[in-house]
Each structure stands twice: as structure tokens, then as C-alpha cells.
A = this chain, B = another copy of it.
């Protein structure tokens, strides 16, 4: 799929087919994360692909509004490694949430391009997710998504008009 079309075609999936995702596709999608920009090129991301049924159910229970999560063949958990992030960017924040957002976007667009769907969840109990996946203390969970072949989509989420998010030469 063309890049601009894939970016525009990203939709939140509300239901996934139970069909397994070929490992080759999983690799292609997750490989897209490798090419993301990051502060000082430190690439502080780590993705966990969960196929274990029991673990998927536990993860769904640790998220808000994630009943459909365990029905997907896979769940992807995006983590940040604090030991590999830039402590301060812009003079005020750690780089890892921004770095992770860039990598996560690549995964999302690549999945769409490959005929797969995602529906990122940012409301979760981090302590539980870390415990289920044995995530160490110096890593953080930033988001989770089911990954699979879409069976149904959530109603399209509205987007702001371009004039609301773009200006020229000054902020207003």
C-alpha cells in the first residue's frame, strides 16, 4: 500500500478475526519500528509480542475497555528502556515517550499496509502489565494493542481540520 494511503487508512479495529498472523508479517510489521527516529539514535524501545492465551487474557484485564484484546491472535506491548533514553530533551523532558510514539506509529502504519489492524490502548495498569510479562524495573509500558486481521472497525474517530493543527510562521 502507498505510504500516504496507509497513513490515512489507519483505523481502530473493534473486532479481530481469530486467524493466526503469519510470522513473516509479524516480522515485517515489527521491523518497521527499527527504522524510527529517536533522540541521539538510542532506540529505547522494546516490543513484546504475546500469543499465549492466558497472558493475553490477563493483559486484557489490566487494560480499560479492552474486552476484544484477547480475541486477537496477538497482543503487542510497547515498552521503553529508561537506560537507553536521553534524560533531557528540549530542556524539560525525557526522550522515551516521544521516541516510543515514533516507533509505535511505524508499527501502526506498517500493520495497516500489510492488511493487519491495531487498536492502541493507553489506559492500563502498568504494575500488572509489568508483572505479567516480567518487565524489569528500569523499563516502562507505554501502550498495548491487539494485532490481527480486522473483522470490524470502531466508528471513525473524527479528526481536526488541517487549519486547527497547522499555522505558518507563528503559532496563531
Residues of A participating in the B interface, judged by any CB pair closer than 8 Å: 1-8, 10, 12, 27-28, 30-37, 39, 41, 43, 45-52, 55, 79, 86, 89-93, 95, 97-106, 108-110, 112-114, 120, 122-127, 133-136, 139-143, 157-160, 162, 165-172
CB distance from A21 to the nearest CB of B (A): 13
A159–B37 CB distance below 8 A: no
Q: Indicate whether A43 sits within 8 Å of B160 (C-beta atoms), given known contacts A2-B1, A166-B49, A171-B79.
A: yes
A169–B86 CB distance below 8 A: no
Contacts of A92 in B (CB 8 A): 126, 140
Contacts of A113 in B (CB 8 A): 2-4
CB distance from A94 to the nearest CB of B (A): 8
Closest to A86 in B: B122
Taking A47-B167, A90-B126 as known contacts, 13 extra A-B pairs with beta carbons closer than 8 A to each other, sorted by chain A number, are A4-B110, A4-B113, A10-B35, A33-B166, A37-B108, A37-B120, A41-B158, A49-B166, A86-B122, A101-B101, A102-B102, A105-B105, A134-B170
Contacts of A2 in B (CB 8 A): 1-3, 113
CA distance A139 to B165 in the complex (A): 13
CA distance A136 to B172 in the complex (A): 9
B89–A168 CB distance below 8 A: no
B109–A109 CB distance below 8 A: yes
